[in-house]
Structure 1
C-alpha cells in the first residue's frame, strides 16, 4: 500500500485530475443517471475546497497588504479594476457577436412556464452589503466581499502598527503578522492534502453530472453550447493572449504553468472553489506574490468574463427563440448592463440566473427563457468558469509585469 500511495503522490496533479475527469465522463455516459450515486464523493471535494477558501482569503490578503506599501496597493488596485472592466466589456461584445453568427435558439419552442427568479440587489444594496455588521456572521455565511473588505482593513492597520514608534505597538504588529503568515502556512498544508483527493472528487463530479444530462439535451441546444465555447476561445486569443504578448509575458509558458487551475475550474465549475489551485498556479507562473494574493481573491469574486459571454450569447438565444430583432441601441444596452451585472451580482446566490435575467429585462425579453438553457448549464458553466479563472490569472500576470516596469523606471530615475 505504501508503494502505491507513493506512486500516486509522485504523479503530476494535471495527469491525475485529467484522468479523473475523462474516466468520470466515460462512466457517466455509459451508466447514465445511475452515476448519481457517486455525487456525494464530488460534494465532499467541493465542500473541502469551500472550507479552505475563507481562511485562504483572510490570511493571504492580510499578508499581501503587509508585503507592500499603501501607495503601491492603490496603484495595483487601480490597474486590476481597470482590467476587469475592460475585459468584461469586451467579453460582452464577443458573446453578442458569436451569438449573432451561431444564432442559437432558432427552431426551439418557448414555453410560458413561469420561473422563480431571485430578486436582483440594487447597486446601493450591493455596496452596503460589502460592509458587514457582524464579521463573524460574514465568515460563517461565506460573504466573500465582506471578508475581503475586512481583511484589507485589518492588513492596513497591522501595517500601521508595525511602523509605529511605540515599541509595544510595533511588537504587537509584528506578532500579528507572524500569526497571519503562520495561518497561511497551515492553510496551504491543508490544501496540499485536499488536492490529493481532487482526482476522486473530479471523477465523481464528471460522472454524476454528465450521467444525469446525457446526449439528449446537448443535441437539442448544440448551437448554444457551441457558441459559448467559441466565444470563450476568442476571448482567450484576442484578449488574454494579446495582453500577455503586449506585456511580454511568454504565452506558452504561462498557460503551461496555469494548466492545473484551468482544468480544476473546468471540472468544478466554481471560481471560488478553484481559488486555492489558482493561487498555487500563480506562484508557478512567476506572478509577484503580493500582486497575486491581493488580486486573485478579488478576481474570483467580481471578475466574470465568462459570465459576460454567457449574457451576450444568452441574449441572442432569447431573441431568436421569440423572434425578436435586436437594435443597435439594444445591443449597446446589453453590453452596458451585462458588464455591470457580471460584477454587481458577484457573490449573490443564483448570480448567473440573476445576471441573465437582468440582461433580458433590459431589452424586454421574457426572463422565463432562462429556463431553456438550464439543461446544458453543466456544459456551459464549465467553460465560463474556465474563462473567469484564466482572466483572473491573466490580469494578475499583466499587473505584475507592469509593476516590474514601474520599479525599473523608478530605479533608473533615482539610480
Structure 2
C-alpha cells in the first residue's frame, strides 16, 4: 500500500485592511505631539514651586508614568540588539571582510562627524559668548564636585568596552559591552559549518528579533502617556521662567544644533543621496520620543525599526545604531564644547584658542565613554573643567537648564545615528536592496501607529 503524501499546507491569507475610523485615524506621531502639548500645560499649571509653597499635588508626581515607559523600553533593548546583530552578521555567510569593512567605515564616519560637531560648538560659543554677564555661585556643592572623580579615561573606556560577564552587562543595559560580546558571538557562529547547531541558533535569533519588534509595538501604544508625563515633570521641575535667566545659553545650544543639522548632516545626506523626505518621515517619531524623554535608549528600538522600514539592511542597522550610541553622539559632543567654554567665559577666564582646541581634543577622547556612566554629559564636562582648572561652580549654573538642553542634544544624537545607518547602507551599496523586507517593516509600523488609542 503506497504511503499517502502529507497534506499540503496553505497559509491563511491576511485579513483585509480596515480603514481606521474616529480616534483610530490619529497616528502615533500625532498622539505623541498632542501628549507633548498636554504635558507642557500640566507642568506649567502644577509646578514644583507651587507645592513647596502651598503643599498639595504637582506634575512631578507623574514621574512614575514616565519611569514605567523608560523601564519597558530598557527591558527590550538587550534581546533586540543581540538577536538582530547576530542574524545580521552570522546570517550572511562567512564574509567577515564585509563586517570588518562596515566597522572601519563606521568608525571613520563617526570621528569625522563628531569632530565637525566640536567645531560647530566651539565656533558658536565664541561668537555668541553666552557666559558673559553670568554670575557663578561661590561653591559648587559636594554632589557636583564628586562628578569630577568619576570622569573616565580613554584607557578606561577601552577596558569598559569588554564585558566580564554578558549577563552583568545585560542587567546594566551596557549597550557597548553587549555589542562587543554579540559581535564576537556572531563571528564565531558564522565560522561554524552548515548544520543543525548553526541553523537552530540563527532561527532562534530571528524568532526573537521578530517577537521583539512586536514587543516594540505594544510598548509604543503606551508611549503618549509616558512621554506626556516626562515632559510634564521636566516643566514642573525647571519651570518655563528658568529660560529667562539662561536664555542665551539655551538659545546658543539650540541654534548651534540647528546649524549642525543644516550645515553638516544635511550636506552629508545630499552627498550620499539619501531621500530627504522619506528620511524625515522615518525619524520624526523616534525624534519626538528622544526629545520628550531626553533618553537615547527610549528611542533606540523604534529608530531601529524605522530605519529598517526606510530600506537599511538589518545587519547594518543592528551594528551601526548601537555602536553609534557610544561613538557618534553628535549633540552631546557639541554641547560639551559649548558648555566648557561657557564656564570659562562666566568665570572671566581668558582661554586662548590653542587651549580651547586642546580641550576639544580631550573631549573628543573622553566623550567616547559618555554612554557608559550615569549623568554622562555632566560627568565628562566636570572632568574637563577640572583638568583645565575651570571652576566646577559653572555646572551649578548649567544644571538649572540642563534638562531642556538634554532634550535637544539627545534628539540630535538620534538623528545623527539614524543618518549614519543610511549613509553606511549607501556606502555599502545596500540601501533599499531588500524592498520586500522594507515594505514588511513599513506595514508593521503603520499597523502600530494606530494601536495607541485602542489600548
The TM-score normalised by the length of structure 2 is: 0.84
Q: 2:69 aligns with which of 39, 45, 51?
A: 45
Which residue pairs with 1:29 in the alignment?
A: 44
Q: Mean alpha-carbon deviation: is it higher for 217-226 or for 365-374?
A: 365-374
- 1: CA distance between counterparts of 2:290 and 2:379? 21
Find out whether 1:147 has 2:178 as its counterpart: yes
Higher-Rg structure is: 2
The structural deviation recorded for 1:364 is 2.4
Deviation at 1:264, TM superposition (A): 1.0
Quick check: 2:36–2:228 contact (8 Å CA) kept in 1? yes
For residue 348 of structure 1, the aligned residue among 373, 381, 395 is: 373
- The residue number in structure 1 matching 2:429 is 404
Aligned to 1:109: 135
Other-structure match for 1:13: 28
The Cα offsets for residues 147-189 of structure 1, whole Å up to 9 and x where unpaired, read as 111111111111111xx16xxxx21011001000111111111
Asked if 1:133 corresponds to 2:144, the answer is no
> What SS does the corresponding residue of 2:131 show, helix, strand or coil?
coil
In structure 1, what is the Cα distance between the partners aligned to 2:157 and 2:168?
17
2:78 paired residue among 49, 54, 57: 54
Judge conservation of contact 2:91–2:202 (CA < 8 Å) in 1: no
Q: For the Cα contact (< 8 Å) 1:53–1:273, is it kept in 2?
A: no
Query: How far apart, CA to CA, are the structure 2 residues paired with 1:288 and 1:48?
Result: 26
Partner of 1:413: none
TM-score for both structures, normalised by structure 1: 0.91
**Cα 1:7–1:140 shift into 2, 3 Å:** farther
Structure 1 position 217 matched with structure 2 position 242 = yes
Aligned to 2:220: 195
Structure 2 unaligned segments of length 5 or more: list them. 1-17, 49-57, 434-455
Q: Is the 8 A contact 1:120 1:345 kept in 2?
A: no
Deviation at 1:215, TM superposition (A): 2.3
Q: 2:316 aligns with which of 291, 297, 304?
A: 291
1:9 to 1:406, Cα distance in 2 relative to 1, 3 A: closer
> Which runs of no fewer than 5 residues in structure 1 stay unpaired?
409-415
Question: 1:44-123 counterparts in 2 under 5 A?
Answer: 44-68=68-92, 69-114=95-140, 115=144, 116-117=146-147, 118-123=149-154
User: Does structure 1 conserve the Cα–Cα contact (< 8 Å) formed by 2:313 and 2:431?
Assistant: no
Which 4+ stretches in 1 moved above 6 angstroms?
405-408
Provide Cα deviations, 1:37-79, integer angstroms capped at 9, x if missing partner: 2111111111111111111111111111123331111111111
1:412 aligns with none
Count of aligned pairs? 399
Offset at 1:213? Answer: 1.1
Provide the rounded CA distance (Å) in 2 between the counterparts of 1:25 and 1:406.
39
Q: Show the counterpart of 2:407.
A: 382
Q: For residue 269 of structure 1, what is the aligned residue in structure 2?
A: 294
Which stretch has the larger CA shift, 198-207 or 266-275? 266-275
Moved more, 17-26 or 354-363: 354-363
Deviates more, 1:366-375 or 1:74-83: 366-375
Structure with more of its chain in helix, by fraction: 1
Distance apart, 1:80 and its partner CA: 0.9
- For 1:364, what is the secondary structure of its paired residue? coil
Alignment of 1:264-343 (within 5 A): 264-343=289-368
What does residue 54 of structure 2 align with? none
Cα pair distance change 1:87/1:70, threshold 3 Å: same
